[in-house]
Homo-oligomer: A and B are copies of this chain.
Amino acid sequence: MPPTPALPEITAYRSVPDFACGRIKDIRIRWALDEIGRAYRTRLIGGIFEDKAPAYLADQPFGQVPVYKEDDLILFESGSILIHIGEGDARLLPRDTAARGRAISWTIAALNSVEPMIQTLVVLTVKGQGTDWMAGAIDAAKPFAEQRLARLSEALGQRDWLEADFSIGDIVMIDVLRNASPALLAPHANLTAYVARGTARPAFQSAMAAHLADCAVGEALPA
């Protein structure tokens, strides 16, 4: 009998500010593992804004979650972890070279060509509340997000997933889109349906439940 594979470990926050609960990137990893029925352990670390121990920063230079450990492999960044998990299971990343390349391209596109433009609007909205600069800055930044979503909507068309088969690219893209403001998605019925289709998957549901069970709300925002 082959040895039992080690249970992978992921880190998650013990406590986060209310708005962040349900929006942390360990969800992506839990979702991928739940899709393939792979059990994992969770190691809870402090809050988002707590100083991280030097040992943690050695694994995750930016002090974020998740870190993923499996035997002597230590990964950081959700995209890197998803590529690794996908390499081990064709249900998340096709074996065929061309299809695999396309799925990894979508994974990176979600992280570098879509999420940043949405995240900029979140930052300007949160930091700009009650200021006289918020409206101008958001007006300037919003067209970048709108353009990317319009292209994405066109590329998705009437398919269920970004390519023929569900992949890690869909996991990241759906997680990115569900954190966009509803007004940004509203012009694109197919993107709204895509998010609903993805978050209705049993593996997303179980991943979110496990995330919420671990993450106590209530961390204070830094002064």
Q: Distance in Å from the Cβ of A20 to the closest Cβ of chain B?
A: 15
For A63, what are the chain B residues with a Cβ–Cβ distance below 8 Å?
Answer: 151
**Which A residues contact B (CB, under 8 angstroms)?**
57, 61-64, 72-80, 83-84, 97-98, 101-102, 104-105, 107-109, 111-113, 115-116, 119-120, 123-124, 127-128, 131-137, 140-141, 144, 148, 151-152, 154-155
Please state if A108 and B128 are interface contacts (CB–CB under 8 Å).
no
Please state if A155 and B57 are interface contacts (CB–CB under 8 Å).
yes
A61 contacts which of B64, B136, B151 (Cβ < 8 Å)? B151
Please state if A97 and B72 are interface contacts (CB–CB under 8 Å).
yes
Chain A to chain B contacts (Cβ below 8 Å), 26 pairs = A57-B151, A61-B151, A62-B109, A62-B148, A62-B152, A64-B113, A73-B101, A74-B102, A77-B108, A79-B108, A80-B104, A80-B108, A83-B83, A84-B104, A108-B111, A124-B137, A124-B140, A127-B141, A128-B136, A131-B140, A132-B133, A133-B133, A133-B134, A133-B135, A133-B136, A137-B137
Please state if A136 and B140 are interface contacts (CB–CB under 8 Å).
no
Residues A62 and B113 in contact in the complex (CB < 8 Å), given A80-B101, A80-B108, A140-B128: yes
Complex Cα spacing A102 to B154, Å: 35
Residues A137 and B148 in contact in the complex (CB < 8 Å), given A75-B105, A76-B105, A83-B104: no
Please state if B131 and A136 are interface contacts (CB–CB under 8 Å).
yes
Q: Tell me the dominant secondary structure on chain A's binding face.
A: helix
For A72, what are the chain B residues with a Cβ–Cβ distance below 8 Å?
Answer: 97-98
- With A76-B105, A83-B104 already in contact, 8 other A-B pairs whose C-beta atoms are closer than 8 Å: A72-B98, A74-B101, A75-B102, A77-B112, A111-B112, A120-B123, A124-B140, A134-B137
Complex Cα spacing A117 to B185, Å: 23
A82 nearest in chain B by CB position: B108
For A128, what are the chain B residues with a Cβ–Cβ distance below 8 Å?
Answer: 136-137, 140
A61 nearest in chain B by CB position: B155
